[in-house]
Chain A
Amino acid sequence: MTEPQELVEKLLTELPGWLPAQRWFAGKDRPVGSVRPLRTTVLLEEPRLLHVVVEVEQADRVEAYQLLVTDRDESYEATGDGELTGHLLDLMAQGREIDGLSFEHEPDAELTDGLRGRPITSEQSNTSIIFGSQYILKLFRKLSYGPNPDLVLHRALRGVGCEHIAQPLGSITGELNGEQVTIGMLQQFLPDAVDGWAMATTSVRDLMADSEALHADQAGGDFAAEANRLGQAVATVHADLERALGQQDADDDDIAATVRAMGSRLDRVAEMVPALGPFVPALREAFDKALDGRSTIVVQNIHGDLHLGQVLRTVNGWLLIDFEGEPAAPAAERAALKSPLRDVAGMLRSFDYAAHQMLVGQDEDPLLTERALEWARRNRAAFCEGYADAAAEAVGDPRRHGELLRAFELDKAVYEVAYEYANRPEWLTVPLSSIARITGEGA
């Protein structure tokens, strides 16, 4: 049994080597300079469970990360210990405050305590723990100062009775350097849920494997009805966010600023990825058109990083999860009001990805390519129709804002080009061929 202080000190000596090996660590691109403890909270004496926040300095960047630490395991990592993580749930159920860390449940939520936790294995930037088959706790690994958009938007949506989210049930918050930070969010867990990517790629697989010359609308695994319902769910969430938190009309300056941001992203990426070069003029033209041919647009709180992996199919319909915005974007940008069309554009790009994912790394096959395009066209259209059916009047049918939607979609594709270039060069063809197609089709 080690004293807390001793444990933290031992930990600190190992962290510079340990952190970069963690999947959730956001600073893998540069060496870890120094690691300083910011705060340590003893959550349990026996067995030992500590909540530790450390500040990691990497060249010009300083970030705070949270750790859940035990001496029961050589790795110090406590998130895999079902008994210890179960204690976090108990603290929220009891509404406890320990040394400035508040464990709360939502005002009208009653939590069952005494459940063991188990971590889910598929996560990227955070760590999530499931309790029984009822709850899921997301621990935000990299801590941001100020209100956490995920928690804020979930609470707002719950407040207006939105049915297309996993209901928020509790939270862990604290203070760091005099500012509020959100440590974790507890939500209803849906054991029957399947993510939209798995649903969509099941349908694509069915179409691709068909030996007869079937079209996407004839295949048994057709996804259009699901895409339509998904469109309705997204539109409903947008309308609920607007109802809960309001909206604004974007003025000319806002739109000009948005288009400028698209242009500068394009400049940066084109410099990095030569293959994008030939498309730069057409892209720039498309962005400019969004500026010219625009109708009034509204801006509001949106999901911010919507794609098929951020939606869940349950027996009661589609849900949206993870309202954190683009994980790499700075907090201020993430919290800014955006056009709902950005989310629509994100989903449209995702349909394109789902359609083409089986072709990546394969020899060119004109028949399969045609099927992929057909699947994408059919489901993108079905999504937009569903969206239009349930959309608030100010937004309406997303295809009404053709130029702007196209610009958002292209901007997203440019972002994808940068991402794929850096991480998965094989996949670069997916956004590049989409850019070629969208800009080639003209207005």
Chain B
Amino acid sequence: MQEDSRPDAALGLEGVPHTGEAITADGLLVEPQAEDFQHAKQAPKNPDWFKGAVFYEVLVRAFTDSNGDGTGDLRGLASRLDYLEWLGIDCLWLPPFYASPLRDGGYDISDFRAVLPEFGNIEDFVYLLDEAHRRGIRVITDLVLNHTSDAHPWFQQSRMDPDGPYGDYYVWSDDDSRYADARIIFVDTETSNWTYDPVRGQFYWHRFFSHQPDLNFENNDVQEAMLDTLRFWLDLGIDGFRLDAVPYLFEEEGTNCENLPRTHDFLKRCRKVVDDEYPGRILLAEANQWPSDVVEYFGDPEVGGDECHMAFHFPLMPRIFMAVRRESRFPISEILAQTPEIPTGTQWGIFLRNHDELTLEMVTDEERDYMYTEYAKDPRMKANIGIRRRLAPLLENDRNQQELFTAMLLSLPGSPVLYYGDEIGMGDNIWLGDRDAVRTPMQWTPDRNAGFSSCDPGRIYLPVIMDPIHGYQALNVEAQLNNASSLLNWTRRMIEVRKQHHALAEGTFIDLGGSNPSVLAYKRRWTRPDGHEDIVLCVNNLSRFPQPVELDLSEHRGTTPVELTGGVHFPQVGELPYLLTLPGHGFYWFQLATVGDDGESR
């Protein structure tokens, strides 16, 4: 075999352990093993940690550059853990940092067992994990089960040797007519889910980009290989995975090839590995589907869930934006009313923004047009079926709205996922390609490169934001740390308050309705293990104008609402509806004082 046709040739992983560095006599690729590395110490045991955790999505590339090459890395991220601990973050979610040709932000993985060299290596990752665990911070990462990069040695072997051990690792076909009912997801760039491979002389199936062939889960070897991939990282000490694009694992003629029963069967296998071998670690499903379909990914409610521990609630997010712009609670109330109960051992993940565009797949056509008109005034703000903007610019940098949105994120049902930089109100750069608009360097200081990197500014992976409103000179962590009333300090305080009230984490959600359509009021009710009730009342004014609201709190007659950020006692709840007035985009969190066994309120 010629040197440059080796399956690992394109990966740039010379000198570090990687898949395909050798091939066994049976044609199997040699892969790195967890035993080859040190393992991180585990975080303190708590099987339910994810139900109340505050998550923080951070791109390794974008957070801090430790070696001055213009790209953030694992050691750089580790150096910022004190900041994240101070902010109150419980768990980091790292999008893929694996070896990759980077044609899809790292979601095109070319080796599941090696780190992208510019981010560091496996040892650096174990160091990050260890340092995080010492601070009580957990770490989960993306794992793409559905597909690999076409540069992955598995695919290279598969296309070159149809009869070899990898020949059946992908979905090959002599023509491009099968599974015609499956939609095309990346409508901006792809015209078919099949692409012809001249090397093998067949078409291969791909639900995303044509350079990301789908793995063939009908092949048990593929299932075993992916379970071993999970084990590799779990052995190193990772706390769980966000499973990317889970609805698409299997294909079946005559279906839309989404959410198929066999896909669920495989997820149950993954869950069993976690439960049996790594209890306390989690699986988080990325299934951009309607809530009634997504709940299937939690698994059997009879046993408290036996698939994923968590799943993202996708339709909620665009509706929060819609509700505030329409000054009507119905978009939020409706989607939560349509959200089924979830098994006892599971939790939603909710978010306002993330590294992808503001996804509009889970809204009606009419609602999508509406969102485009309201939140993507420039065509460049649109991407695929969504809007590529950060929270602050989406809200026209209005501090009151940023606070209202964050307050809802921290109090609606589910574990909140913050997106790096949104805690300081970072801006975006819509002139950057694809989804890079929201992936610019974290702004730490007013110094060169915003304190992100010591490199020559020309070498940085994406330019720092420099516009007059969101530019790093004025908008950065250092400046906000020193300002008691900054968005950063406010966000930290709200996270702290949230953690003091477990009702906000696991409490049942009760929409209070009310006659004012612009006010969204709800209760979160949690029965503590000692039998006492913790009830938090959240009242949000979705309108830019001041609003009165009369709430039916008759169930709590005689209790005294205590405002949670300042501890102020509000008037007692009486027989009549409870009257509150809110400033434009204002909100309140109250504890409805619990009545103890002795009948004492407060």
Residues of A within 8 A of B (CB): 82, 116, 118, 121, 133, 190-195, 198-199, 202-203, 205-206, 209, 218, 220-222, 225, 313, 315-316
Shortest Cβ distance from A223 into B: residue: B326
- New A-B contacts (8) at CB < 8 Å, excluding given A118-B554, A192-B513, A313-B517: A192-B514, A193-B515, A194-B514, A198-B515, A202-B517, A206-B326, A222-B370, A313-B330
Q: How far does the alpha carbon of A205 sit from the alpha carbon of B546 in the complex, in Å?
A: 12
**Ordered nearest first, which 10 A-B pairs have the shortest CB separation?**
A192-B513, A220-B325, A194-B517, A191-B513, A315-B337, A315-B334, A315-B333, A220-B374, A199-B517, A221-B326
Check: B483 CB closer than 8 A to any chain A CB.
no
Q: What residues of chain B lie closer than 8 Å to A206, measured between beta carbons?
A: 326-327
Interface flag for B253 (CB, 8 Å): no
In contact, A198 and B327 (Cβ under 8 angstroms): no
Q: Which of B325, B518, B545, B552 contacts A133 (CB 8 A)?
A: B552
Task: List B contacts of A199 (CB < 8 A).
Answer: 328, 517
Look across to chain B and name the residue whose beta carbon is closest to the beta carbon of A133. B552
Query: Is there a chain A Cβ closer than 8 Å to B512's Cβ?
Result: yes
A residues near B554, Cβ cutoff 8 Å? 116, 118
Which residues of chain B come closer than 8 Å to A116, judged between CB atoms? 554
Judging by beta carbons under 8 Å apart, are B326 and A195 in contact? no
Question: Does B35 interact with chain A (Cβ within 8 Å)?
Answer: no
The 8 Å CB contact of B545, one of A191, A203, A209, A218, is A209
Q: Is B516 in the interface zone, CB < 8 Å from A?
A: yes
On whether the beta carbons of B543 and A202 are closer than 8 Å, the reply is yes
B327 touches A202 (CB 8 A): yes
In the assembled complex, the Cα of A199 lies from the Cα of B542 at a distance in Å of: 13
CB proximity of A135 to chain B, nearest CB, Å: 13
Distance in angstroms from B539 CB to nearest chain A CB is: 15
Contacts of B552 in A (CB 8 A): 133, 191
- Of A191, A198, A205, A218, the residue contacting B512 (CB under 8 A) is A191
Assess the B374–A118 pair: CB atoms within 8 A. Answer: no
Bound-complex Cα distance A206 to B543 (A) = 9
In the complex, B292 has a CB within 8 A of chain A: no
Q: B575: CB under 8 A from chain A?
A: yes
Residues in B with CB closer than 8 Å to A218 are 373
B538 CB to closest chain A CB (Å) equals 15
Nearest to B364 among chain A residues (CB) is A225
8 A Cβ contacts from B470-505 to A: none
33-92 of chain B: CB within 8 A of chain A: none
B328 surroundings in chain A (CB, below 8 A): 199, 202, 221
Q: Which of B325-354 contact A (CB under 8 A)?
A: 325-328, 330, 333-334, 337
- Beta-carbon contact of A315 and B373 below 8 Å: no
Provide the bound-state CA to CA distance between A225 and B334, in Å: 15
Interface status of B366 (Cβ within 8 A of chain A): yes
Interface flag for B104 (CB, 8 Å): no
Most buried by A among B374, B515, B516: B515
Query: Could you name 30 residue pairs across A and B whose Cβ atoms are closer than 8 Å?
Result: A82-B575, A116-B554, A118-B554, A133-B552, A190-B513, A191-B512, A191-B513, A191-B552, A192-B333, A192-B511, A192-B514, A193-B513, A194-B513, A194-B517, A195-B515, A198-B517, A199-B328, A199-B517, A202-B517, A202-B518, A202-B543, A206-B327, A209-B544, A218-B373, A220-B325, A221-B327, A221-B328, A313-B330, A315-B333, A316-B337
Inside 8 A of A221's CB, which chain B residues have their CB?
325-328
Establish whether residues A198 and B545, one from each chain, have CB atoms under 8 Å apart when the complex forms: no
| Residue contact A194 to B516, C-beta cutoff 8 Å | yes
CA distance A220 to B373 in the complex (A): 8
- CB atoms of A225 and B517 under 8 A apart: no
Question: What number of A-B contacts does a CB cutoff of 8 Å give?
Answer: 62
Which residue on chain A has the smallest CB distance to residue B367? Answer: A225
CB distance from A163 to the nearest CB of B (A): 15
A194 near B515 (CB under 8 angstroms)? yes
A residues near B543, Cβ cutoff 8 Å: 202
Min Cβ gap B381→A in Å is 16
Q: Residues of B contacting A118 with CB < 8 Å?
A: 554, 575-576
Whole-angstrom distance between the alpha carbons of A29 and B435 in the complex? 69
Q: What B residues does A193 contact at CB under 8 A?
A: 513, 515
B333, B366, B373, B516: the one contacting A198 at CB < 8 Å is: B516
Which B residues are CB-close (under 8 A) to A191?
512-514, 552
Chain A: minimal CB distance from B522 (Å): 11
Collect the chain A residues with CB atoms within 8 Å of residue B373's CB. Answer: 218
Inter-chain contacts of A220 with B (CB < 8 A): 325-327, 374
Closest to A205 in B: B545
CA distance A193 to B516 in the complex (A): 9
Give the distance in Å from the alpha carbon of A220 to the alpha carbon of B514 in the complex: 22
A198 to B423, CA, bound (A): 35
**Chain B residues near A222 (CB-CB < 8 A):** 326, 370
Which B-chain residue is minimally distant from A220 (CB atoms)? B325
| CA A293 to CA B137, docked complex, whole Å | 78
Residues of chain A within 8 A of B327, CB atoms compared: 202, 205-206, 220-221
Residue among B330, B512, B513, B517 with the most chain A CB within 10 A? B517
A199, B374: Cα distance in complex, Å: 19
- Which residue of chain A lies nearest to B516 when distances are taken between CB atoms in the complex? A198
- Give the distance in Å from the alpha carbon of A198 to the alpha carbon of B517 in the complex: 7
Instruction: Tell me the complex Cα distance, A206–B514, Å.
Output: 20
| Most A-side CB within 10 Å, residue of B328, B366, B575 | B328
Interface string of B409-424 (1 = CB under 8 A from A): 0000000000000000
The distance in angstroms between the C-alpha atoms of A315 and B576, with both chains bound, is 24
CB distance from A443 to the nearest CB of B (A): 33
Complex alpha-carbon distance, A111 and B330, angstroms? 28
Inter-chain contacts of B517 with A (CB < 8 A): 194, 198-199, 202, 313
What does the 1/0 interface line of B575-597 toward A look like (CB < 8 Å)?
Answer: 11000000000000000000000
Contact pattern, B 220-250, Cβ under 8 Å of A = 1, otherwise 0: 0000000000000000000000000000000
Interchain CA distance A178-B366 in the complex, whole Å: 57
Shortest beta-carbon distance from B552 to chain A in Å: 6
- Nearest neighbor of B550 in chain A, beta-carbon distance: A121
A residues in contact with B333, CB < 8 Å = 192, 315
A206 to B544: give the CA distance in the assembly, Å: 9
Shortest CB distance B272–A (Å): 38
B271-306 vs A, Cβ < 8 Å mask (1 yes, 0 no): 000000000000000000000000000000000000
In the bound assembly, the distance between CA atoms of A225 and B367 in angstroms comes to: 9
**What separation, in Å, do the CA atoms of A199 and B330 have in the docked complex?**
10
Q: How near does chain B come to A27, taking the closest CB pair, in angstroms?
A: 29
| CA of A19 to CA of B326, assembled, Å | 43
Question: Which of A118, A193, A195, A220 has the most B CB atoms < 10 Å from its CB?
Answer: A220
Complex Cα distance A177/B373, Å?
Answer: 64
- B-side contacts of A313, CB under 8 Å: 330, 517
Q: Which of B351-368 contact A (CB under 8 A)?
A: 366
Contacts of B334 in A (CB 8 A): 315
A203 to B330, CA, bound (A): 13
Q: In the assembled complex, how far is the CB of residue A315 from the closest CB belonging to chain B, in whole angstroms?
A: 4
- In angstroms, Cα B101 to Cα A210, docked, is 48
